[in-house]
Amino acid sequence: PKTIYLQDYTPFGYIVDDVHLTFDLAPNATRVTSRIAFRPNPDAEDTRFFLHGEGLTLISARINGEEVDPELSPEGLVLDVPALPFIWECEVEIDPANNTALEGLYMSNGMYCTQCEAEGFRKITYYPDRPDVMSTFTVRINGDLPVLLSNGNKGDSGEAWAEWHDPWPKPAYLFALVAGELIAHPGTFETCTGREVELNLWVRPGDEGKCAFGMDALKRSMRWDEEVYGREYDLDIFNIVAVDDFNMGAMENKGLNIFNSSAVLASPETSTDMNFERIEAIIAHEYFHNWTGNRITCRDWFQLCLKEGLTVFRDSQFTADMRSAPVKRISDVIDLRARQFPEDNGPLAHPVRPESFQEINNFYTATVYEKGAEVIAMLRRLVGDAAYAEALDLYFARHDGQACTIEDWLKVFEDVTGRDLTQFKRWYSQAGTPRLSVQDDWDDAGTYRLTFTQSTPPSVASPSPQPQVIPVAVGLLAPSGEEVAETRLLEMTEATQSFDFTGLPERPVPSILRGFSAPVILEREVTTEERAFLLAHDTDPFNRWDAATALARTTLNDMALHGAAPDPAYLDGMCRVLGDDGLDPAYRALMLALPGQSELAAAQADAGHRPDPMAIWTACETLRQALAEQAAEMLPALFEACQVTEPYSPDAEQSGKRALGGALLALLTRLDGGARAEDQYAKADNMTLQLSALGQLIRAGKGDAQVEAFYDQWQGDRLVIDKWFMLQVVQSTPDQAASVARKLTEHPDFNWKNPNRFRATLGALAGHHAGFHAADGSGYSLLAEWLIKLDPLNPQTTARMCAAFQTWRRYDSDRQALIRAELSRIAAQPGLSRDTTEMVTRILG
């Protein structure tokens, strides 16, 4: 496969003024007719006329009405064209019914839909399929289906046809078309300037009852973007469509967002509180792309973080405003540590703005998205809220309608603040998670000195990392627990740097990296007493939570590596947290969660050990049991206090109570043999309670009847049955995980061509640390077997799931050999996709 480099960017030789598309829909033979106005681009040196096109049957091509005979290749076509404006007309035939890759135009349950980001439009017709080529689109759809949708505003329509016109120039990756038997859940929104916008959430018949929350979340997102970023919606209509077969979460096509049904459909009976929160965040995310992504798009795919990092940052601000800001911050860091840190510290490490790729689909990563958002959060901390707002206004004013780069983005901050962001830009160009070590000194004259040293491990992507700008938020506490220095933002730019705090009466206890002010790994020798102190007294909710996880991590690693007993400081601290009614229940639930087992393995490997997944699993079980026993007397009353008596609402308050209730139920089930879980299962009138009870019963080995009953109750609901598949794997014991997953792949409902079902089963196995890494290799071989099977049909989902193997070098030589063998087996498949080839090659290193 060919590698593409950022440094090779050149503009396209032609400007597209206007695109007209006509679709004559037929499942196996859809005709796509295009009429495109091109003119030479005065800013381009390369005047070659190359149009991307993949898997297209060319029927005819014309320039200015004259039949032409372009030179075809598997990637597209080339042709000699006049050095004057001209009209390109072309007719192709495609086969949406057999498009299992779910890129381009495909079918899902009889419905036509599209996914064009990043490079799917070239599977629809010949086109300069690159984000810096922007044009207005007019689309006519001919098809005997009741609902025919595309981007922009409605045009004329009639029996079995409809026209759409999108007045805003856009790149082809934002094109969308949907046709099918769909039902609208309608709404309206009045913009800040008084324009009325028609809203619709389109679903399959039977899903009408799952639309209300999504519609409400959309309206709240539209209002929030007006109020916080001053961004008004810019078309007369905004459509969202739910699709069952979808590779990603959702897609921000202009005026016609297409969603994985799991990311939009919700009802109390079928969706958990976490589902509701995720749906709210994704609806906001895709809506926010209208300005950060669509009106201002990316020059090339290396700049993906320009729209994704910023839009993730914006949706996290939205969630923090809608719900609890500390809980959102902690949840985001849990996710970053679980998904981005392993990527940044393994063979798949790449900068937030990568410099090369073979398949861009492999770069829709936690690094581009979540670290990309962290970089913006740091920038905002460094310049301050007011300058951030000013810089964003300038960004929108200066770049509206353009395809931009990270340089453009940083320039608005430089222009507004006068800062030089040259060094800060390393966050975009260097891979790897910086390690920040800390030393402290106290002199009796009242000066407390913190000395930080940063270093980033070298990687293939960044062999010699340079010091980065690290904003370190620090507060100081007196030994009595009082805060003696409020949060101060230290700006670290050197490899080693000291900061003094003066005029202190006694040696303070530092609270470092408050709010997780930079995506780094803090390395500091901290005593258990100091951690317990911060757990009890820190005024920063993030660091207070982090003290709890650090205590848990330390004791779990001691238990797993050295056979130590559970640390009483952890158990006592947790009992105090549990009983502290002053703390938000959602926050207490987060405090109670143990660090991920894969994360523990990473910490052990970092410290020079070979992690034993089974020992880590046993340590977690032992610690939970010890906590359940120590807290035994207080648990029943706490659990009672978490019962919600009001009608179900997915809001922060109720879902917080249910989250804590779920954590408490997990502890109680270790003591009561499952009595409370059985009771909760029997009475549950919402999915959150039903699923948490079912999970505990499975874990306790007592859920057989409920597993069957759950299936009987929900077999008609694909999204709930996904949960049924996932939960059985997640809650299985390590020795059973692979065989449970294998058995589920033999279930008649294991529709493996559906990405949600595939991920629910095999993704769950990959996420079961001790089960996936079972010493006999059964987890590895089951996943590899299915990846090999899926690759010819759906390379994108296959390639993403290969990442399960990225941490392989952490483990012992037996496991390494087993994983290497599976990766080699995948690599050796004849005709392996470009997507999977690139992933496997990078992981093998």
> Which residues, including other chains, have CB under 8 Å from residue 10's CB and lie 6 or more apart?
44, 45, 46
Binders of Zn ion in range 299-358 (CB under 5 A) = 308, 311
Which of ligand DPP, Zn ion, none is residue 251 near (CB under 5 to 8 Å by kind)?
A: ligand DPP
Which residue's CB is nearer to Zn ion, number 368 or number 436?
368
For the chain, the straight-line distance linking the first and the last C-alpha, in angstroms and rounded, comes to 16
Which of ligand DPP, Zn ion, none is residue 273 near (CB under 5 to 8 Å by kind)?
A: none
Residues that bind ligand DPP (CB under 6 A): 117, 248, 250-252, 285-286, 289, 308
Q: How far is the CB of 405 from ligand DPP (least distance, A)?
A: 18
Which of Zn ion, ligand DPP, none is residue 248 near (CB under 5 to 8 Å by kind)?
A: ligand DPP
Q: How far is the CB of 285 from Zn ion (least distance, A)?
A: 6
State the maximum Cα–Cα separation within the chain, in Å, rounded to a whole number: 89
Which residue's CB is nearer to ligand DPP, number 250 or number 522?
250
Which of ligand DPP, Zn ion, none is residue 117 near (CB under 5 to 8 Å by kind)?
A: ligand DPP
Could you give the CA distance from residue 230 to residue 457 in angstroms, rounded to a whole number? 41
Q: How far is the CB of 250 from ligand DPP (least distance, A)?
A: 6
Contact between residue 69 and residue 204 where contact means Cβ atoms under 8 Å apart: no
Which residue's CB is nearer to ligand DPP, number 117 or number 374?
117
Which residue's CB is nearer to Zn ion, number 248 or number 826?
248
CA 394 to centroid of chain Cα atoms: 28
CA–CA distances in Å: residue 293 to residues 11, 173, 402: 19, 11, 10
Which of Zn ion, ligand DPP, none is residue 421 near (CB under 5 to 8 Å by kind)?
A: none
Binders of Zn ion in range 25-54 (CB under 5 A) = none
Cα torsion through 432, 411, 293, 470, rounded to 10:
30
Which residue's CB is nearer to ligand DPP, number 111 or number 251?
251
Which of ligand DPP, Zn ion, none is residue 538 near (CB under 5 to 8 Å by kind)?
A: none
Q: How far is the CB of 620 from ligand DPP (least distance, A)?
A: 33
Which of Zn ion, ligand DPP, none is residue 537 near (CB under 5 to 8 Å by kind)?
A: none
Q: How far is the CB of 549 from ligand DPP (least distance, A)?
A: 28
Which residue's CB is nearer to ligand DPP, number 280 or number 286?
286
Q: How far is the CB of 118 from ligand DPP (least distance, A)?
A: 8
Which of Zn ion, ligand DPP, none is residue 550 near (CB under 5 to 8 Å by kind)?
A: none
Which of Zn ion, ligand DPP, none is residue 166 near (CB under 5 to 8 Å by kind)?
A: none
Which residue's CB is nearer to Zn ion, number 310 or number 535?
310
Could you give the CA distance from residue 219 to residue 189 in angstroms, rounded to a whole number? 7
By the 10 Å C-beta count (0-12 exposed, 13-18 middle, 19+ buried), 475 is classed as buried
Mask of contacts with Zn ion, 552-581, x by CB under 5 A? ------------------------------
> Which residues, including other chains, have CB under 8 Å from residue 553's CB and lie 6 or more apart?
595, 599, 600, 603
Count of chain residues binding Zn ion (CB under 5 A): 2
343 is catalytic: no
Q: How far is the CB of 432 from ligand DPP (least distance, A)?
A: 24
CA–CA distances in Å: residue 372 to residues 396, 533, 620: 19, 33, 32
Handedness of CA 246, 248, 250, 252 (dihedral sign): negative
Which residue's CB is nearer to ligand DPP, number 370 or number 612?
370
With H, G, I as helix, E, B as strand and everything else as coil, classify residue 73: strand
Strand partners, 154: 164
CA–CA distances in Å: residue 351 to residues 292, 310, 348, 805: 21, 16, 10, 20
DSSP code for 507: P
Q: How far is the CB of 177 from ligand DPP (least distance, A)?
A: 16
Could you give the CA distance from residue 436 to residue 453 in angstroms, rounded to a whole number? 6
Contact between residue 476 and residue 501 where contact means Cβ atoms under 8 Å apart: yes
What radius of gyration do the chain's Cα atoms show?
27
Q: Given 54, 277, 280, 286, which residue is catalytic?
A: 286
**121's tokens:** 């439009």
Nearest to 560 by CA among 593, 630, 629, 607: 607
Could you give the CA distance from residue 201 to residue 149 in angstroms, rounded to a whole number? 12
Which residue's CB is nearer to ligand DPP, number 101 or number 691?
101
Q: How far is the CB of 761 from ligand DPP (least distance, A)?
A: 23
The residues that are catalytic are 286
Which residues here bind Zn ion, judged by CB under 5 A? 308, 311
